[in-house]
Structure 1
Amino acid sequence: MLIDPIPSSSYPSIFINDHPLIDVRSPIEFNKGAFPHSCNHYLIHDNERELIGTCYKKHGQAAAINLGHSLIKGELKQQRTDNWLHSLKKKPNAYLYCFRGGLRSQLSQQWLKEAGYSVPYIEGGYKAMRQFLIRSTETISQSQPLLILSGSTGSGKTELLSRRKNTVDLEAIAHHRGSSFGQHYGAQPSQINFENTLAITLLKRQINSPAYLLLEDESYLIGRSAIPKCFYVKMQSANVLVLEETEENRISRIVKEYVINMRKEFIARLGCTNGIEAFQQYLRHGIRQIKKRLGGKLHDELQNALEHACKQHESKNTPDGHRVWIAHLLEQYYDPMYRYQLNKKSHKIIFQGSHQAIHQWLDDNL
């Protein structure tokens, strides 16, 4: 006898507890959007799904099911069953899901039952779970008070967030630091995956009924990841804390994060020679991204200073030359833009101060 499906009432605990999931949809479906702690071991591959879908449209469900059984049998059926079994050996309490919690989930469950494993599938599948997360973001956006942490580039906002509870690091979820130099090695998540992870993070933060959630001040787009409109609107109406930091410390922090650490990351991924070249291209790309806003003269000045710093970095093994173009970029571009944006939010500022002062204010008031 097959196990009853996991009901939709279990969705919150599935996501809050990072319950392991086996996604039996095709790779193209999984890559478009899935859930954290899910792995893709498909029942039917992309080309098979296309053939079965065409058959369904022309000849109906029964013909499509028969075609599926004729396509996936014998060694191929065993291979896909073995993939599920391999995953279950690592995470024996995993649940299955397909798109709607229908035939693919039931068939996968049946094959596993034949192999001696009783594995439940999730009612409603991916579509219903995705809708649950969308509604969760909307609901939490309406009910949860937010505080926005603002501060000039390099002031250490992410660092402050990492030392507090009740925070949401949108840049970590987007795998991007939110500036023209903000990309990490490796791609950002798909928009759907960004939204799914944000929703799950918000659900987890609600467990202790926090008085507020603290977030870094962000634009609507973090790289290519768009903050859900309902949540972004709530962010725009929230009170603001302003983190103050000396210019010297800001430059040092930027050099460490965007130069020293990024260079190490590229080298670790690509090897020394290719990593250094890719790292330098990353810096050049960051300046090119804002060329129109910089203007030709300033862009050329920064580009020349960058090239000099890169040569010095490799010939003398010191990143100090990067402080020159970074200081110039802050003074001529990022700081004026920050002051302009902050001025528009001046009526929402409720406190400003150093790292220590912000921590103390949060401890005393919330």
Structure 2
Amino acid sequence: MSRRGPVCVGDRHGFDTIIDARSPAEFAVDHLPGAINCPVLDDEERRIVGTLYKQQGAFEARRVGGAMVAANLARHLRERFAEQPAVWRPLVYCWRGGMRSGSMVTWLRLVGWDAQQLSGGYKAWRRHVITQIDTLAPQLHLRVLCGPTGSAKTRVLQALAEQGAQTLDLEGLARHRGSVLGGWPGVAQPAQTAFETALADAIEAFDATQPVYVEAESSRIGRISVPPALMLRLRASPCVEIVASPEARLDFLLRDYANLGDDPQLLAHQLHNLRELHGGEVIARWQAWAHGRNLAALFAELMARHYDPLYARSQGTNLQQWEERQSVAAPALTPADIERLASAVIALPWQSLNAKLPLPASGENS
């Protein structure tokens, strides 16, 4: 059996399984990529032990909690770990790398497995995530896809990935399309910490010598905030604008956002959020179209009166290389057209623009 010093976050890839020993509620908020949840205390047990600690002290909390931990560990040994071979090497963590993960490691090692405890636990992971984003984001060779609402930017990004390009799908990580009507149907956004975990995991996997395509985004995607280091890099990077006619964009939106017609009441409620910008009369008209499922009229006016003016104001302000942007024409935005657009984006002469990217400031990568 291996005996060694503390296991750091950077060593995690050398283990067969990563085990999160925290409660299911803690795990649901965020966890290490690929981890499985095998709690030593479930949510209610953790509440009970915490209450005992406050009201009766550490001894009573440990006496009661110890019995709960033993029962849970026995269950995991019978169920989740029952088929693991003798050479299995799990890495276990809890909140700080303390008693919960320590108790599991002790029992796993008694069985004969080379179990190890993650030094610093989840808190060490959070420090790692923040450091990786702040360190690696300024080094990315980003290429930013721009275009007004309905230009199929997300679909082009997906087509780029299918064609072998490196892509960073921020809306996919945030589970939101980024606009007032951008919520994914029936899907909640992740916690901010979980978004940052997924972001750091994606950035770490990139080949730093190759470009990364990303969609132009504001600093917030729904309720998720994009980390400042990444936003600064995105706004300083070269751009390509997808140029499509209003007719082509409307046709695309009617296909891509067709789900908005499934719940007219929810759509009308979302439109109410634009009341201060457009006034009661306009919003009443839009809500009437929503209730009548007249998405063609609604989307056409939303493009003309809301999204296109917003796009015109924001790009030159937020993107430093907007004036030097390249463009690709999109006569239509069918799936076949989107594949051709992705190929055209890859073929653009990007190299001359990369030189304009600012280098990370001194000490930024420390």
TM-score (norm 2): 0.79
Cα shift at 1:177? 0.4
* Amino acid in structure 1 at the alignment position of 2:115: V
Q: Does residue 26 of structure 2 align to residue 29 of structure 1?
A: yes
Which secondary structure does the structure 2 equivalent of 1:146 belong to?
strand
Q: Does residue 313 of structure 2 align to residue 329 of structure 1?
A: no
- Distance in 2 (CA, whole Å) between partners of 1:41 and 1:25 is 7
Aligned to 1:246: 245
Q: Does residue 272 of structure 2 align to residue 297 of structure 1?
A: no
- Distance in 1 (CA, whole Å) between partners of 2:115 and 2:59 is 25
Aligned to 2:118: 122
Aligned to 2:42: 45
Aligned to 1:226: 225
Q: Does residue 306 of structure 2 align to residue 307 of structure 1?
A: no
Count of residues in correspondence between the two structures: 332
Q: Please tell me whether the aligned partners of residues 5 and 121 of structure 1 are also in contact (alpha carbons under 8 angstroms).
A: no
Cα shift at 1:39? 2.6
Q: Please tell me whether the aligned partners of residues 88 and 94 of structure 1 are also in contact (alpha carbons under 8 angstroms).
A: no
- Distance in 1 (CA, whole Å) between partners of 2:222 and 2:187 is 13
Aligned to 1:200: 201
* Amino acid in structure 2 at the alignment position of 1:210: T
**Structure 2: segments with no counterpart, 5+ residues:** 331-339, 351-366
For 1:1-366, list aligned pairs within 5 A.
4=4, 7-8=7-8, 10-11=10-11, 13=13, 20-50=17-47, 52-53=49-50, 65-73=62-70, 75-85=71-81, 94-114=90-110, 117-164=113-160, 165-184=165-184, 185-205=186-206, 208-260=207-259, 276=262, 279-308=263-292, 310=293, 321-345=294-318, 348-349=321-322, 350-354=325-329, 356=340, 359-366=343-350
Cα shift at 1:155? 0.2
- Distance in 2 (CA, whole Å) between partners of 1:87 and 1:332 is 61
Which secondary structure does the structure 1 equivalent of 2:116 belong to?
coil
- Distance in 2 (CA, whole Å) between partners of 1:22 and 1:163 is 35
Q: Please tell me whether the aligned partners of residues 2 and 113 of structure 1 are also in contact (alpha carbons under 8 angstroms).
A: no
- Distance in 2 (CA, whole Å) between partners of 1:103 and 1:64 is 13
**Structure 1: segments with no counterpart, 5+ residues:** 264-275, 311-320
Q: Please tell me whether the aligned partners of residues 220 and 232 of structure 1 are also in contact (alpha carbons under 8 angstroms).
A: yes
Cα shift at 1:179? 0.7
More helix by share: 1
Aligned to 1:267: none
- The 1:47–1:345 alpha-carbon spacing in structure 2 relative to 1, beyond 3 Å, is closer
Instruction: Kindly provide the CA deviation profile for residues 18-63 of structure 1, in whole angstroms up to 9, marking residues without a partner as x.
Output: x752210123322332233223221123344355456667998777
Cα shift at 1:215? 1.2
Instruction: Kindly provide the CA deviation profile for residues 245-276 of structure 1, in whole angstroms up to 9, marking residues without a partner as x.
Output: 1212211211112115x66xxxxxxxxxxxx4
Which secondary structure does the structure 2 equivalent of 1:85 belong to?
coil
Q: Superposition RMSD on alpha carbons, in Å?
A: 3.1
- The 1:346–1:167 alpha-carbon spacing in structure 2 relative to 1, beyond 3 Å, is closer
Cα shift at 1:194? 0.5
Instruction: Kindly provide the CA deviation profile for residues 154-190 of structure 1, in whole angstroms up to 9, marking residues without a partner as x.
Output: 1010111112212100000000000111111221101
- The 1:346–1:209 alpha-carbon spacing in structure 2 relative to 1, beyond 3 Å, is closer
Cα shift at 1:137? 0.3
Which secondary structure does the structure 1 equivalent of 2:205 belong to?
helix
* Amino acid in structure 2 at the alignment position of 1:241: V
- The 1:54–1:99 alpha-carbon spacing in structure 2 relative to 1, beyond 3 Å, is same
Which secondary structure does the structure 1 equivalent of 2:257 belong to?
helix
- Distance in 1 (CA, whole Å) between partners of 2:201 and 2:89 is 20
* Amino acid in structure 2 at the alignment position of 1:193: A
- The 1:324–1:6 alpha-carbon spacing in structure 2 relative to 1, beyond 3 Å, is farther
Which secondary structure does the structure 1 equivalent of 2:327 belong to?
strand
- The 1:191–1:346 alpha-carbon spacing in structure 2 relative to 1, beyond 3 Å, is closer
Cα shift at 1:69? 1.9
* Amino acid in structure 2 at the alignment position of 1:219: S
Q: Please tell me whether the aligned partners of residues 352 and 358 of structure 1 are also in contact (alpha carbons under 8 angstroms).
A: no
Question: How many percent identity over aligned positions?
Answer: 26
